[in-house]
Structure 1
Amino acid sequence: MIDHAKSNDKKSLVSLLLNSEPVAASEDHVLVKFDEEIHCEIVNKDDEKRNNIESVVCNIVNKTVKVVGVPADQWLRVRAEYLQNRNTNETHQSEKQSTQQSQQIDIAQKAKDLFGEETVHLVDED
């Protein structure tokens, strides 16, 4: 990122990015770890700086993303929380799908019980 900022005449970003490291990315976010908490605060609170960094990242990856700064001393905690939340969400999603499937089976069985197997024709709309 630093080399790209230098080559695109974004010298004000170079000093901000010198002690930084992109540590995580998703479809629409990039998490950047900063050695100094003040640099992290600048990125998270100064829209102009953040937009400039996002522009540099966009030029590198050819995709628009949001940049979020995290202090180096909090990075491992943030990562652990993210992974825990993601795993919890996946578990809940799996449980929800299982419940929906069993409810659909119950409804289908009730219809068959009420109207008879030969009258009820199930159609899968997925």
Structure 2
Amino acid sequence: MAVITSIHATYGRRWNLDDYESATVNLEAFADVEEGETPEEAAAKVFEYLKEQVATQSIPVLVKRDERRRLRVEEVLEGLPVRLRELAVSFIQSFKNDVPRDQVIDGGSQVRADLAEGRVHKQEA
């Protein structure tokens, strides 16, 4: 029976950058199986190391993607009428603050967007 003495592993992630673009971060590593260690344990260590490294290497890509998304949202918001912009910003804030999606805090009132009718309903609290 063959004895495994080294491990070779590859791990990667593909990140959606929007606009039909993506970025791939791939890493590979070689490791020797240490004495008293099973090949499965060595493989698990290498895999965990690669996952951590891919996550670390992905940070700059994801920061740039999120900045581009933020700029696009700001551009769209600038083109809206003032009241609609305020409602949109309030609705966006609800996602950041994890407020239920149909109850957006807006000066003490609840706002519910009815996308089927294309209307926004406001109910004073």
Q: What TM-score does the superposition give when structure 1 sets the normalisation length?
A: 0.30
Structure ranking higher on relative contact order (CA contacts 8 Å, 6+ apart): 1
**If each structure's helix is expressed as a fraction of its own residues, which one has the higher value?**
1
**If each structure's strand is expressed as a fraction of its own residues, which one has the higher value?**
2
